[in-house]
Structure 1
Amino acid sequence: MSAEPPPVASGGAVPAEQHAGSGPGVTAEEMPPSAPREKITKPLLASEALMEDLAPIRPGQDAARIWCAAVGAGFLILGGLSIAGLRPDGVIAGPPAFVLGLVALFAALTSVSYRQRAIAMVVLGAIATLLGLRSTGSASDIGWGAARAVAATALPAALVFRSRYRAYTGARWLLVAAFLVSLPSFGEAVARLALLDPHLGQLGALMVVVAVLSSLTGFMGAETTGAGAFLAVTVVLAFTADLIIGGLAQLGHFSARDVASVLVGALAFAATAAITSLGLFQILAWRLAADARRINLHSPPSDKDGPDRRPPSGGEWLT
């Protein structure tokens, strides 16, 4: 007798054992595994993105590495020129330049913390400034040179900080302090314009006055950056141009060696001011970023920015 087929359950359903084994070559062991569950990451909230824009944690970290590498290479080149006797300071200026260059490259290429690199940049800039002032000459020249270096460092750092932390009230107080320490250099430039006869050196003084006065845009409202980053570069370039024009105006005759000496000195001043101001900005950011992030992103707009809620006048009732 032939084997009878297994009974079919009511409703025409086939038993699970028969259904699983009925397919050709498909068994329970060969069923495809379930797909792995995707890892769900937390989405970036709009408030978090706005907070990072208004008060970043470590701004300019990559720029600091680039500036350290560039300034380090520049110091090594200056040291080589001094050893070769192509700089007016002679061979004695070579070893300090080599040391500063190696330290700057070390800060650029090693994995140091944000704060440590910022402090190293400020220390490097201060040492380079002192070395440059030592070869200036008279005490009066050293004093005005120091005032120029302080202004070209403090004001750009405050402008960049104001630009990156525009909603932080303390940024404007830092800008006030930067203007105060820049007053000696600014006053000297104004005095050259007002008291001296017109000559080539006054062009640099005019550029300094215009750059410093343009920095007053940093006191605008929190809705704008006040062009802080652009004005910071402008201030450094203005003081550098003043140094170049003043140096060229003092030359009795324009020899290639003297002109090159003026240009190299001005370039070293610009690089030193830039790396020092960037380091000072990062120290301020490291110290004040947590305080700057204590802002209310959901605060209602002020009355001056909102719609006019005054009751209409008598004439407006008729319209």
Structure 2
Amino acid sequence: MSGSTQITQIDPDTAAAQWLLRQEQGLCPAETQHFQEWLASHPAHQQAWQEMQNFNRLISEMPPSCSQHFAKQRKQLAAKARRERYKQLISVYFRPRLLTGCALSLLACSYLWLSLPSYQQQVQTARGQILEQYLPDGSHLELDTDSQVEIALYRDKREVRLIKGQAMFHVSKGSPFHVITDQAQVSVLGTQFSVRNTQKQIQVAVQSGKVAVQPKPAALPGLILRAGEAVSLENNTLSPVQAIAPAAVGSWRQGRLSFDNTTLANAIAEFERYTPTGLRITDPEIGKLRISGSFEIKKLQQFTQALPQVLPVRINKGEISAP
């Protein structure tokens, strides 16, 4: 009795599995005719064949880490089938108790498929460099000087880890979008905002839309920021919400640094992130003086010349001291 005739005499599910193996090996014209006759002989055959194709398609769409296990078993089975042992091996492979294990494996692989990112990227900028990065989901981010992010897009969420520096985010609508730092998670659904992670302090400012700021650990209270609002987080403590001009969010993208009652020490440190300033504060009390204004990043000399005019200081060969 030929192998094709044997296939027609077993249950539809097992027969469908065997026909699939035979097709992958290649059918001769006579076998092709036997297959068509088997398929047309009963509706149960057509249903079993369709289910077997769906099952095979599901395996082929899985990540390699999942599908390789099934592919290996199928290759082993096909090799044994070529040695005239179709009926025995298929009945063992598809016996009901093993089908349960197979279903559990599929569930596990489906979970793994969801947990693996569909897109990953690490982006880092050098001192003085500003970089724009576009993402496959239509979002994009602008990365400030001396900054680093790790991007991972999953099928049910989007995550960007801001390792250091700051970035401006333009988020397209879609699955939840999270910006994660060592102290907080910022979550949005569609907005434009900036997140800064420098000097052990997190700053979030919203240009449009709204974001949720959740300190770590999650048990700590969070808050919602709307357009024109900003907040800082230091030592897991949120500052009061501050009102800001939406147009001022991420002013560094236009090559400017904006200071609002900022200490002189912090203002100079901000310039240092972009370029060596050569400035040194000789007295810590001078560093506590406050300054406000907007300055061009590439025109450090203008900033230096303005200091003695707005603060009680003098500058001599880069040293800032009392007059």
Q: Provide TM-score, normalisation by structure 1.
A: 0.19
Which structure dedicates a bigger proportion of its chain to helix? 1
Larger RCO, structure (CA 8 Å, separation 6 or more)? 1
User: By percentage of residues, which structure has more strand?
Assistant: 2
Name the TM-score, length of structure 2 as normaliser: 0.19
In terms of Rg, which structure is larger?
A: 1
